[in-house]
Structure 1
């Protein structure tokens, strides 16, 4: 196995680099992309999200790589979007890939938030879903809100028996995360329960609902997932790519893409409402306010 990011975790008083935020390793034909902010339960700031985008593009461009595994370092897969760590960088500019929105920095009101979330959240997750290689999310501990978006972008999800899934953002007056796959991932009726209550769903329930493919003991998560990836990697590359495209197309014909677009508009109605009635600059999206609304991270 090779590892291109072996430097230690950064000190709290200096910026985290892309190589520190996301590790890219290979094990034969399998690339492992690992979120590396365990101190913050892999909360996703923009620097991490753009580093993930680069890592997925790197795996797609490497002819030796057949399968990509997405992982999170430490106890948790991802506690969601960064809403209050020292590395929160919502007002920082990053190089954007073709086809995504203009730079949100320096813009005001809905123009800023809509541009940023069109790119960093909905746009990137859609691109990762279309990666022409199989992807597997390897999930342990918390997989909350923005963490769900990353897992749901992947083709398969292998969960440890300690995994917990939740999208508590209705408590913020928002109808689910930006990559709104809920009705397709778990069915409409449970999607409503999942969102209305905002409660965490354990791995066993997630398996019963079809939210994940396999549940394994925590100690077996990494070897089980890597074995699955290695077995998939023996299949013909074109056959895998076309099979993935076929299933994705069928899902889109069942309304996934159009549904996400429509809900993304509702999501931004909620942002506009919060900005209108809120008293803080994050419209209730800072860590203090969220702690008052929920016992979990975003």
Structure 2
């Protein structure tokens, strides 16, 4: 039976909701989920009646981040299978047959770039844990609403990596707090994220869906073209400040981290401080 990874909903006129639906695995992200989210964004973008897009998740946790239980070969196979049929993904002009770098660039960096720039306002609703790669899903959205039990972390320094593939940290947290977040691998509360400006609002868990939908409906009363221009103006300001160039440059450092770990451990991550990684199938790309 095919696993349902993402659900598409129409909760109110003018609003589409994309829901991560892998709650039994804490919405761990694999390539097929990325493709499904991308398809859902495409669907919402193509529907002129949709003015605002919500990204949410089933279950206790928003997402546990990348599903590292899958081998490099599985990642590449999924990218290879999908890439000839992808439309609208920058750089997806050939199958991803060139290893880990190509799979991660097309699967994570380029998809995130596209979602960040999609020409409709996006709101992310976060509950429970939002770990590592899941931060990408939240950060590319225009607005983040968190429940009081939301917890954010990027613990990949523990695995011998500098950060996740999308280095939004300095922009979301400021440079000094970004360094603390990365160096310590600590988990930070929704209130702390709100204090730092990463989160727009913090609400009770049982109010999260309604609060998010109410904001989406309020935004949906505005003219679509005005919303598109306002979003593009803010994103372009960040671009002029160098956000996308910085994220691109950091992605290459991310790959350098993988290469160092391949050299030392025969796999893209350092298992020294994480015994659970020792049980994950490892095979170099």
Measured in 2, the distance between the counterparts of 1:208 and 1:89 equals 39
Measured in 1, the distance between the counterparts of 2:105 and 2:270 equals 20
TM-score (norm 2): 0.89
CA change 1:256–1:154 in 2 (3 A) is same
Corresponding residue for 1:32?
17
**Where has structure 1 moved over 2 Å in runs of 4 or more?**
95-104, 281-288
Corresponding residue for 2:60?
75
Measured in 2, the distance between the counterparts of 1:183 and 1:257 equals 12
CA change 1:290–1:180 in 2 (3 A) is farther
Residue 100 of structure 1 deviates from its aligned partner by 2.2
CA contact (8 A) 2:161 2:269 kept: no
> SS at 1:210's partner residue?
coil
Measured in 1, the distance between the counterparts of 2:275 and 2:16 equals 33
Corresponding residue for 1:60?
45
TM-score (norm 1): 0.86
CA change 1:287–1:143 in 2 (3 A) is farther
> SS at 2:32's partner residue?
helix
CA contact (8 A) 2:159 2:269 kept: no
Corresponding residue for 1:289?
277
Residue 85 of structure 1 deviates from its aligned partner by 6.3
Residue 129 of structure 1 deviates from its aligned partner by 0.6
Measured in 2, the distance between the counterparts of 1:220 and 1:154 equals 20
- Taking the TM superposition and a 5 Å limit, the aligned residue runs for 1:33-52 are 33-52=18-37
Measured in 2, the distance between the counterparts of 1:173 and 1:146 equals 15
What is the alpha-carbon root mean square deviation over aligned residues? 2.0
Residue 173 of structure 1 deviates from its aligned partner by 1.7
Q: Count residues with an aligned counterpart.
A: 269
> SS at 1:25's partner residue?
strand
Measured in 2, the distance between the counterparts of 1:144 and 1:155 equals 19
CA contact (8 A) 1:83 1:287 kept: no
Measured in 1, the distance between the counterparts of 2:45 and 2:19 equals 16
Superimposed CA distance per residue, residues 22-61 of structure 1 (whole angstroms, 9 cap, x where no aligned partner):
1000121100000100011100111110000000011011
Residue 136 of structure 1 deviates from its aligned partner by 0.2
Superimposed CA distance per residue, residues 247-277 of structure 1 (whole angstroms, 9 cap, x where no aligned partner):
0000111111110111111000001011111
CA change 1:290–1:191 in 2 (3 A) is farther
Match of 1:97 among 81, 87, 94: 87
Residue 176 of structure 1 deviates from its aligned partner by 0.8
Measured in 2, the distance between the counterparts of 1:268 and 1:170 equals 14
Within the alignment, does 1:275 sit opposite 2:262 as a pair?
yes
